[in-house]
A and B are shown apart, each in its own frame.
Chain A
Amino acid sequence: MLDALYHNITNRLNTGILILDSDFNIVMWNRFLEVHANKKDNNVIGKSIFTVFPELPKKWFERKLSSVIQLKNQSFCGWEQRHHLFELSHSRPITTDSHFMAQNCTFLPVEVEGEVKHVCLLIEDVTDVCHYQTQLNKALEDLALSNRIDGLTQAFNRKHWEECLASEFSRARRYNYDLALVMLDLDQFKLLNDTFGHQGGDKVLIDTAKSVNDLLRMGDMFGRYGGEEFAVILPNTDLVGAEEVAERIRQTIASNTVDYQGRSINVTVSIGVAVIEAEDTRYEDLISNADIALYEAKSNGRNRVCLAKQCPTKETIVA
């Protein structure tokens, strides 16, 4: 009577139950596994688990079972570490993209008179959990990204860019590395906005950001500093290298034509370049030096690159 009850309940559980002997032969399994594995009883009972489920990592599985038998301890295998052990179908084939059932597996020692001769595996379907956790992780990643990115131009936003500069600055100080900063401003952008409207201005910003980004190396950090002002951090770059990059940016922008509603817009940029100097104590010093150079480029007639004054000149000013 009780046996029949147990049998009935075992076969109605939404958890897989599999009992193995110490030679890895399957002694018993329940309906849950039979259905999800879609295999016939007589091809399974008494057979080696590695024959029935050839997808199992054999060595790993053997070691896992030996720990359960020797230590008489239960052991686990979660979906976060291994998505699944057994290739089973699951109950959300339509609304998730999971091919196999995500599983949490428990290995239980079955102790009879102080000896472990069998191990019971409990296999839970956690496809749901796995699906939602994966979605959550993706959402968190997207959120973290959108926190760093300027929506219009896809460059780093001011806040994130400045954090990058702060950390690059202290790294350069600590290891005595070069560090260069390039600041660029679109020439006569207000006039452009008045002529083509703000959407035309936006298109110029988007295209310019893309052109600049395409010119940079891996490790360079490109951000939108303000309205029509962009800035690039160039780690391990000296003044000569930075001027080269700046000149390349200037020429590319000047030769590009932005298409907007069938009209062509030509834009130029003025650029200021500064490198880290011995007397710079804060990253803001680097920004203001590049800014002064940028101002000089503007007042000298725009569409040009100006370099921040080097130390000797500054000393002269101080003197």
Chain B
Amino acid sequence: MNAFDLTEDQQDCLQELINVAMGQASDQLARYLDTFVYLKVPKIEQVKSEQLLVTLNQDLKATAVVSQGFFGYEGIRGEALLMYQPQDSNRLADLLGYEADELTFDEQIIDLSSILTTTFLNVFASQIDNQMSYSAPRLLSPNLGAVTQHLQQQAFNWDLALKVRISYQVTDYSFNCDMVLLIPEQAIINIKTVIDRILEEF
């Protein structure tokens, strides 16, 4: 067990915080998007930097990835990756309430990513008495080859990250995407401190 491993209690607590956040987030999204949004049970695991590419590729054959950084008090920070598959693209403008010709596909997934990420993380932050700020969402690349290339070219300055993967399903629009939160080393320690405090109060 290394310093970044979560104990069983810590893991349970984080899982519970995420579950509650997911519930509230899907409720807010449903009201905003006017359709049901299902969030599947999240997967929490540790990932080594050199394995990131492999695990992301296994997760899905993403064709577009939108990245958005988040940062709050007490050193809670990380990067959210929203991953899309090609068949997801057709009715996004519809879903978002825009006219199809009002915005490009790139703008649609960036807009949706931002909404999904910030909605979830805002609720999550309020659970731990925190508040998040966000960087502007960036489209990493419009196709898989380039995403893989992009990640391969990075010399990551982290070895280990906490990875939380949540799948979104909007059945009315037969649309799926995955949100992967990656929390780097120091931030894991900071999250563990917060979790320990919650466990104590509990």
Which A positions have Cβ atoms within 8 angstroms of B? 57, 59-60, 63, 67, 70-76, 78, 80-82, 104, 106
Whole-angstrom distance between the alpha carbons of A106 and B118 in the complex? 13
Whole-angstrom distance between the alpha carbons of A81 and B138 in the complex? 10
Q: Given A78-B136, A106-B136, decide whether A73 and B99 contact each other with a Cβ distance below 8 A.
A: no
Contact indicator A59/B134 (Cβ below 8 Å): no
Excluding A59-B98, A70-B32, A82-B107, 4 further A-B contacts by CB distance (< 8 Å) are A63-B98, A71-B115, A76-B114, A78-B110
What is the predominant secondary structure among interface residues of chain B facing chain A? Answer: helix
- 24 contacts across the A-B interface (CB closer than 8 A): A59-B98, A60-B103, A63-B96, A63-B97, A67-B32, A71-B28, A71-B32, A71-B115, A72-B122, A73-B118, A73-B119, A73-B122, A74-B118, A75-B111, A75-B115, A76-B114, A76-B137, A78-B137, A78-B138, A81-B104, A81-B106, A81-B107, A81-B110, A82-B107
Contact indicator B119/A71 (Cβ below 8 Å): yes
Residue B201 at the A interface, CB < 8 A?
no
Residue B129 at the A interface, CB < 8 A?
no
Q: Which residues of B contact A72 (CB under 8 A)?
A: 122
Contact indicator A73/B110 (Cβ below 8 Å): no
Contact indicator B114/A75 (Cβ below 8 Å): yes
Q: From B138, which residue of chain A is reached at the shortest CB distance?
A: A78
Q: Which residues of A contact B106 (CB under 8 A)?
A: 80-81
Which B positions have Cβ atoms within 8 angstroms of A? 28, 31-32, 96-99, 102-104, 106-107, 110-111, 114-115, 118-119, 122, 134, 136-139
A61 smallest CB distance to B (angstroms) = 10
Whole-angstrom distance between the alpha carbons of A70 and B96 in the complex? 13
Q: Which residues of A contact B115 (CB under 8 A)?
A: 67, 71, 73, 75
Q: Given A63-B97, A71-B28, decide whether A76 and B102 contact each other with a Cβ distance below 8 A.
A: no
Whole-angstrom distance between the alpha carbons of A57 and B101 in the complex? 12
Q: Which residues of A contact B122 (CB under 8 A)?
A: 72-73
The 4 A-B pairs with the shortest beta carbon distances in the complex, nearest first, are: A81-B107, A73-B118, A76-B136, A60-B102
B106 smallest CB distance to A (angstroms) = 6
B139 smallest CB distance to A (angstroms) = 7
Q: From A78, which residue of chain B is reached at the shortest CB distance?
A: B136
Whole-angstrom distance between the alpha carbons of A76 and B110 in the complex? 9
Q: Which residues of A contact B138 (CB under 8 A)?
A: 78
Contact indicator B102/A73 (Cβ below 8 Å): no
A7 smallest CB distance to B (angstroms) = 23
Choose among A76, A80, A82 the residue with the greatest number of B CB atoms under 10 Å from its CB.
A76
Whole-angstrom distance between the alpha carbons of A51 and B138 in the complex? 31
Q: Which residues of A contact B102 (CB under 8 A)?
A: 57, 59-60
Whole-angstrom distance between the alpha carbons of A307 and B107 in the complex? 54
Q: Which residues of B contact A106 (CB under 8 A)?
A: 136
Choose among A59, A81, A82, A106 the residue with the greatest number of B CB atoms under 10 Å from its CB.
A81
Q: Which residues of B contact A82 (CB under 8 A)?
A: 107
Q: Which residues of A contact B118 (CB under 8 A)?
A: 71, 73-74
B28 smallest CB distance to A (angstroms) = 6
Contact indicator B107/A73 (Cβ below 8 Å): no
Whole-angstrom distance between the alpha carbons of A203 and B115 in the complex? 60
Whole-angstrom distance between the alpha carbons of A104 and B31 in the complex? 28
Contact indicator A73/B136 (Cβ below 8 Å): no
Q: Which residues of A contact B114 (CB under 8 A)?
A: 73-76
Q: Which residues of A contact B107 (CB under 8 A)?
A: 81-82
Q: Which residues of B contact A57 (CB under 8 A)?
A: 102
Whole-angstrom distance between the alpha carbons of A70 and B138 in the complex? 23
Q: Which residues of A contact B136 (CB under 8 A)?
A: 76, 78, 104, 106
B29 smallest CB distance to A (angstroms) = 8
B71 smallest CB distance to A (angstroms) = 13
Q: Which residues of A contact B31 (CB under 8 A)?
A: 70
